[in-house]
């Protein structure tokens, strides 16, 4: 029988301290933070379900994730929902963690998962007040744990955040590997690729997953029908070598990018990126498809975006965020390449944009004919 947490066991008191001095009280959950301190860039996510997919998404490397939904952990965790072999986030902040999961799929509780994976957390936090503060202050450095408030305050003030950081090198695969056995041959650059992305691609393709630093000529030597650029963490402006690889591929093979891959496609075309105040993190962002005007409900996880003005003459904007007008999709002019900022693969959902994988196969078919 699966071990259960002791309902009578008291959790140690803990604090979440922000770089601007704001303090939130709570209780420590998950793995103990070394020295009672864990730091990171604090962001919030609005999903109601899919918390395991969020925590195992490599795009959260360097960040502490605060969930706005009050009850996180209701249905436990299962290896089937992992997006990577382990979480890369620095920590987790929640309002309430149910003591026992309620799902036939559960193999462990969320707390057991956090302990096993070495991820510290804090519960009992007023996440509504915290979210409102982040919306005003923006993504911000933080420190959490059982250490003294003054120690946590110094650590929070010293947290550098993700700006200017190459976090991709810490999450990418160390060597190429193959997935799937579909008709099309696709080289997928792993900037922090999610398992669900590979599952979507392997329905139609044989995928050679390669490291983020894989040379363009080596990728082309595999004779792919297309190249896929995955999601990933950190600042795209810090990834000059990866942007150059994408530039070397453009015009020689069809390219499809998602999230960070979309940003790298844009920068390879000559565009610029900028950091959003508090990013887009959640499963309910409305996006308008400009060709036809359809509205898609999308899953998103990014702190950076492409500047629309910088894309003039090199790419057409195909999708925009209805909340703030941010560019959500582009199509290159003159070469077969397109990308979207959001996640059409989204596990557990929404799936409004799964058609984009079919669009990729259509692009590969057109290039082959």
Active site residues: 259, 343, 345
Q: What does the angle CA 251 – CA 257 – CA 258 come to, to the nearest 5 degrees?
A: 170
Q: 12-16 long-range contacts, Cβ below 8 Å, gap at least 24?
A: 12/146, 13/146, 14/122, 14/144, 14/145, 14/146, 15/122, 15/144, 15/145, 15/146, 15/147, 15/149, 15/152, 16/93, 16/122, 16/125, 16/130, 16/142, 16/143, 16/144
CA dist 366 and 369 (Å) reads 5
**CB-based contact 238:164 (threshold 8 Å):** yes
Parallel/antiparallel/unpaired status of strands 315-321 and 295-306: unpaired
Say which residues have a Cβ less than 8 Å from residue 362's Cβ, sequence separation at least 6.
Answer: none
Q: Where are the beta strands (DSSP E) in 223-314?
A: 226-229, 255-258, 273-289, 295-306
Phi, then psi, of 5 in degrees rounded to 5: -65, 150
Task: Determine whether 163 is exposed, middle or buried from the number of CB atoms within 10 Å of its CB (0-12, 13-18, 19+).
Answer: middle
CA dist 162 and 63 (Å) reads 8
């Amino acid at each position: 029988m699966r071990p259960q947490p002791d309902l009578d066991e008291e959790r140690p008191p803990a604090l979440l301290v922000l770089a601007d001095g704001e303090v939130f009280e709570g209780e420590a959950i998950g793995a103990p933070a070394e020295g009672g301190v864990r730091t990171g860039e604090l962001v919030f996510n609005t999903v109601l379900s899919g918390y395991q997919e969020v925590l195992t998404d490599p795009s959260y490397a360097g960040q502490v994730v605060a969930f706005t939904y009050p009850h996180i952990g209701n249905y436990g965790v299962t290896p089937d929902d992992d997006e990577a072999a382990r979480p890369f986030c620095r920590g987790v902040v929640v309002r309430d963690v149910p003591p026992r999961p309620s799902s036939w799929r559960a193999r462990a509780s969320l707390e057991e998962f956090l302990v096993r994976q070495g991820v510290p957390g804090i519960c009992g936090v007023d996440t509504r007040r915290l979210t409102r503060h982040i919306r005003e202050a923006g993504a911000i450095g933080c420190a959490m744990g059982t250490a003294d408030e003054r120690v946590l305050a110094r650590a929070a003030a010293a947290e550098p955040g993700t700006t200017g950081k190459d976090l991709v090198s810490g999450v990418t695969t160390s060597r190429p590997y193959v997935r799937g056995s579909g008709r099309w041959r696709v080289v997928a650059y792993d900037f922090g690729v999610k398992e669900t992305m590979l599952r979507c691609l392997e329905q139609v393709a044989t995928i050679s997953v390669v490291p983020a630093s894989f040379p363009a000529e080596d990728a082309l030597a595999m004779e792919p029908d297309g190249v896929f650029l995955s999601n990933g963490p950190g600042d795209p402006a810090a990834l000059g070598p990866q942007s150059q690889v994408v530039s070397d591929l453009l015009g020689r093979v069809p390219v499809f990018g998602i999230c960070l891959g979309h940003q790298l496609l844009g920068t390879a075309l000559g565009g610029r990126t900028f950091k959003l105040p508090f990013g887009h993190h959640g499963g309910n962002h409305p996006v308008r498809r400009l060709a036809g005007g359809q509205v898609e409900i999308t899953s998103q996880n990014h702190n950076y975006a492409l500047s629309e003005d910088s894309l003039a003459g090199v790419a057409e904007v195909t999708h925009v965020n209805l909340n703030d007008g941010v560019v959500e999709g582009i199509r290159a002019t003159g070469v077969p390449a397109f990308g979207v900022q959001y996640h059409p693969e989204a596990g557990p959902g929404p799936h409004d944009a799964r058609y984009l994988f079919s669009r990729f196969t259509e692009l590969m078919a057109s290039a082959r004919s």
